[in-house]
Amino acid sequence: MQSTNRPGVHYPVVASGEAARATRRRLADTGVEAYALDAFILRPDTLVPDFEPALAVGAELGGRRITALVGDPDAGRARDRFSALCDLAASHGLAVHLEFHAMSTIRTLAAARAFLGHDHPAGAGIAADSLHLFRSGEGPRALTQDSPVPVVYAQLCDGPATIPADRVLDEMVNDRGVPGTGAFDLQGFVRALPPDVVIDLEVPCRALRERGMAPYDIVGHVVSAGRAVIAAAEG
The pLDDT value recorded for residue 3 is 31
The yes-or-no verdict on residue 13 having pLDDT over 90 is no
The yes-or-no verdict on residue 1 having pLDDT over 80 is no
Percent of the chain predicted with pLDDT > 70: 93
pLDDT tens-digit series, residues 66-97: 999 999 999 999 999 999 999 999 999 999 99
What average pLDDT does the segment 201-223 reach?
A: 94
Domains of the chain as residue ranges with CATH? 127-235 (3.20.20.150)
The pLDDT value recorded for residue 11 is 52
The yes-or-no verdict on residue 161 having pLDDT over 70 is yes
Q: Which amino acid is at 213?
A: M
The pLDDT value recorded for residue 39 is 87
What average pLDDT does the segment 169-185 reach?
A: 96
